[in-house]
A and B are shown apart, each in its own frame.
Chain A
Amino acid sequence: MKKLRVAILGSGNIGTDLLIKIQRSEFLECVLFIGRNLSSPGMAKAIAMGVKVSDESINAIVKNSDLVDLVFDATSAKDAKNHWDILDKLGKIVVDMTPAKLGIFCIPAVNLEEVIEHRNINMITCGGQASIPIAYVIGKTQKNVEYIEVVSSIASRSAGPATRLNLDEYVDTTENGIKHFSNVPRTKAILNLNPADPCIDMQTTIFAQVENPDMGYLEKEIDIMIKKIQNYVPGYSLLVPPVFENGRIVIMVKAQGLGDYLPKYAGNLDIINCAAIAVAEQYSKNFNNIK
């Protein structure tokens, strides 16, 4: 088997955590870790791990185009747009961690097979990775779902300046993602930051308005879905199984991080990274004809 050669663009928290996760993968090899500043903590970590690094941003891939099959873009929405113009021409596969929304929305537990037909895959949002699979199951098992709402609470310390400045984009993208996968016309996403010490784990509640819910079918399918997600997000768990309360279905899930580069409470960053790696691994499996 030949490991898929990947590059990581962006040496911040997301990029560095991806790097550590990739080191464990049987299917992926990180051939290039790229940022803009060789003295950043992420770069230092990569150098210490013996990974080839570059501070030349997108040019590093242009120069080493033959060495790279897939690029994780962990920069910003604005940069990701510029990068894609170049990477598209180079024929690279891009797993986009930013909210640039250039490619197909991906929830590995739902549409992994479909997305690997594409070359630009968008990982939506962290809250989306936690809630959309559940919303999808609700949409699939229940008739006449009028409305789905997801509420995520994350530890304040896991939300950096960019997240805080871009709450509106988070809400907007997550709502679109739920609509897309559940086929429910009205959706709403809410995000709470909780400063409690010790830090809370990321927790997401999914509500749905349904006239006559089929709870048995729902419970069965939710269990299957949870196991499917746990295959690539080990810290994902069902906190409160489906209950029908006050005219609404309520399901609660929790995402604890693996504690790789970031602490365990940063489950929000962990889940989107785990999902992105599941996508890249699927490409690798396909190239190697592994089922």
Chain B
Amino acid sequence: MIKQILISDPTLRDGNHACAHQLNAEQIAIYAEAADKAGVPIVEVGHGNGLGASSLQVGLSKEDDKTILETARKHLNKSKLGIHVIPGFATIKRDLVNAIDIGVDVIRVASHCTEADITQRHLGYVRERGKEAYGVLMMSHMASASVLVEEAQKMELYGAEGIIIMDSAGAYLPSDVQEKISALVNGLKVPVGFHAHNNLGMAIANSIMAIESGAKILDGTARGFGAGAGNAQLEVLVAVLEKMGYVTGIDLYKILDASDIAEKEIMSIVPTIKSDSIVSGLSGVFSGFAKHVTRISNEYEVDPRDVYRELGKRKIVGGQEDMIIEVVMDLIRNRK
């Protein structure tokens, strides 16, 4: 029996976290074209926090949503165009209507892992337009397997045709992935997916564990270009899956070429696991915070590792970048 895995490639979305959301139209065009040639099923683009998220809070995008989407649309023929949408950032009227009008095929509606009911209206709208709707539970390490199943069931009832859990902090070990993915596969009707981060060097291992536990959708990015320590490295993932006998529909040589192009054309730095990233992963902090923590810690001369520890202790969720400033201010105050 053929084991088919659906790959979604958010190099041009999660990667935006790695460059302070500065990917330009030309870079988007170049990589979209390369990924399309390689046969990547879904190419996800946008600001790091998705549609409508360009902000002082998270970072202003180099290009607006319209430019990003139109550029990617123009350069994708076979690949589907995907976006990430977080209610609270993106509204239907202001953002989603336009995105679908431009020609987005796949919409992944995301919430913090315990807040699935904020996705009802957005998922409903995507279905109404007849597009592919997925549910995404972010920062999934912060909820138990049973809570994840409940929240995922809600998204399934809202009309999601697949549920992806994100290890947004890169905090999982393979055993965590096994527990959570198995529970979801068991508790849901629709396919389950996994999105890895590499803070603890587990991105590929965790992705494979997800597949072995029954997941059918994986996210991976060229060279792992993504928030913090980066994501599962797509070209490695494709190679490993191929070796294990899974089918992705992606041409290995061409995705290797695409990742070489990506390194040359869109990355100022290739993501590595920096010392701070390890502490971030251990503390369970949203990977997208990395750039902000580095900058603000430098500016106010505090140890970024202390900042990560404190953010983790306060259970700060994605989207709460403003808390970094408050934590830094508190650290300074307590030092005095």
Bound-state Cα–Cα, A28 to B1, Å: 75
Bound-state Cα–Cα, A190 to B88, Å: 5
Which of these binds chain A: B216-224, B241-249, B318-326?
B318-326
A151 neighbours in B (Cβ, 8 Å): 55, 57, 319-320, 322
By beta carbon, the residue of chain B nearest A195 is B114
- Contact indicator per residue, chain A 131-149, by CB within 8 Å of chain B (1) or not (0): 0000000000000000101
Interface status of B212 (Cβ within 8 A of chain A): no
Q: List 30 A-B contacts (CB under 8 A).
A: A149-B57, A151-B55, A151-B319, A153-B322, A164-B115, A167-B87, A167-B91, A168-B92, A192-B112, A192-B317, A193-B115, A193-B118, A194-B317, A195-B142, A196-B314, A196-B315, A203-B322, A203-B326, A205-B322, A207-B55, A239-B326, A240-B329, A243-B325, A245-B296, A245-B299, A245-B325, A248-B56, A250-B325, A252-B322, A252-B326
Interface status of B303 (Cβ within 8 A of chain A): no
Report the minimal beta-carbon distance from A80 to chain B, rounded to whole angstroms: 20
Bound-state Cα–Cα, A248 to B292, Å: 13
- Contact indicator per residue, chain A 176-196, by CB within 8 Å of chain B (1) or not (0): 000000000000101111111
A196 neighbours in B (Cβ, 8 Å): 314-317
By beta carbon, the residue of chain A nearest B299 is A245
- Are B118 and A192 within 8 A (Cβ)? no
With contact pairs A190-B55, A193-B118 given, residues A153 and B320 touching in the complex (Cβ less than 8 Å): yes
- Are A156 and B114 within 8 A (Cβ)? yes
Interface status of A237 (Cβ within 8 A of chain B): no
With contact pairs A149-B56, A172-B93, A194-B316 given, residues A167 and B325 touching in the complex (Cβ less than 8 Å): no
Interface status of B117 (Cβ within 8 A of chain A): yes
Interface status of B94 (Cβ within 8 A of chain A): yes
B315 neighbours in A (Cβ, 8 Å): 194-197
B115 neighbours in A (Cβ, 8 Å): 156, 164, 193, 195
- Are A190 and B57 within 8 A (Cβ)? yes
- Are A164 and B320 within 8 A (Cβ)? no
Interface status of A161 (Cβ within 8 A of chain B): yes
Interface status of B67 (Cβ within 8 A of chain A): no
Bound-state Cα–Cα, A156 to B295, Å: 29
With contact pairs A190-B88, A205-B57 given, residues A165 and B322 touching in the complex (Cβ less than 8 Å): no
A172 neighbours in B (Cβ, 8 Å): 91, 93-94
Bound-state Cα–Cα, A196 to B56, Å: 24
Interface status of B264 (Cβ within 8 A of chain A): no
Interface status of A82 (Cβ within 8 A of chain B): no
Interface status of B253 (Cβ within 8 A of chain A): no
With contact pairs A172-B91, A191-B88, A193-B112 given, residues A209 and B56 touching in the complex (Cβ less than 8 Å): yes
With contact pairs A164-B117, A167-B118, A240-B329 given, residues A192 and B319 touching in the complex (Cβ less than 8 Å): yes
- Are B322 and A168 within 8 A (Cβ)? no
With contact pairs A164-B117, A252-B322 given, residues A192 and B88 touching in the complex (Cβ less than 8 Å): yes
Bound-state Cα–Cα, A277 to B199, Å: 50
By beta carbon, the residue of chain A nearest B117 is A164
Interface status of A20 (Cβ within 8 A of chain B): no
Report the minimal beta-carbon distance from B138 to chain A, rounded to whole angstroms: 11
Bound-state Cα–Cα, A246 to B56, Å: 10
By beta carbon, the residue of chain B nearest A196 is B315
With contact pairs A165-B121, A245-B299 given, residues A192 and B320 touching in the complex (Cβ less than 8 Å): yes
Interface status of B120 (Cβ within 8 A of chain A): yes
- Contact indicator per residue, chain B 294-330, by CB within 8 Å of chain A (1) or not (0): 0110010000000000000011110110110110010
B94 neighbours in A (Cβ, 8 Å): 171-172
B118 neighbours in A (Cβ, 8 Å): 164, 167, 193
Size bracket of the B interface: 20 to 34
By beta carbon, the residue of chain B nearest A171 is B91
- Contact indicator per residue, chain A 190-219, by CB within 8 Å of chain B (1) or not (0): 111111110000010101010000000000
B323 neighbours in A (Cβ, 8 Å): 153, 203
- Are B87 and A168 within 8 A (Cβ)? yes
A171 neighbours in B (Cβ, 8 Å): 88, 91, 94
B112 neighbours in A (Cβ, 8 Å): 192-195
By beta carbon, the residue of chain B nearest A243 is B325
By beta carbon, the residue of chain B nearest A147 is B56
Report the minimal beta-carbon distance from B44 to chain A, rounded to whole angstroms: 21
- Are B329 and A190 within 8 A (Cβ)? no
Bound-state Cα–Cα, A240 to B93, Å: 33
CB proximity to B under 8 Å, residues A102-128: none
B91 neighbours in A (Cβ, 8 Å): 167-168, 171-172
Report the minimal beta-carbon distance from A242 to chain B, rounded to whole angstroms: 12
B320 neighbours in A (Cβ, 8 Å): 151, 153, 192, 194
By beta carbon, the residue of chain A nearest B318 is A192
- Contact indicator per residue, chain B 119-144, by CB within 8 Å of chain A (1) or not (0): 01100000000000000000000100
Bound-state Cα–Cα, A167 to B96, Å: 14
A252 neighbours in B (Cβ, 8 Å): 322, 325-326
A207 neighbours in B (Cβ, 8 Å): 55-57
Q: Which of B88, B117, B296, B314 gathers most chain A CB within 10 Å?
A: B88
Bound-state Cα–Cα, A286 to B216, Å: 67
Report the minimal beta-carbon distance from B136 to chain A, rounded to whole angstroms: 15
Q: Which of B114, B118, B315, B326 gathers most chain A CB within 10 Å?
A: B118
Report the minimal beta-carbon distance from B62 to chain A, rounded to whole angstroms: 15
A197 neighbours in B (Cβ, 8 Å): 315
Other than the given A164-B118, A194-B316, A207-B55, 19 more pairs (CB < 8 A) read: A153-B320, A153-B323, A161-B117, A164-B115, A167-B88, A168-B93, A168-B121, A171-B88, A191-B88, A192-B319, A193-B118, A194-B315, A195-B142, A195-B315, A195-B317, A203-B323, A203-B326, A205-B322, A252-B326
B296 neighbours in A (Cβ, 8 Å): 245
By Cβ-Cβ distance, the 7 closest A-B pairs, closest first, are: A205-B322, A207-B56, A196-B315, A168-B91, A195-B114, A192-B319, A191-B88
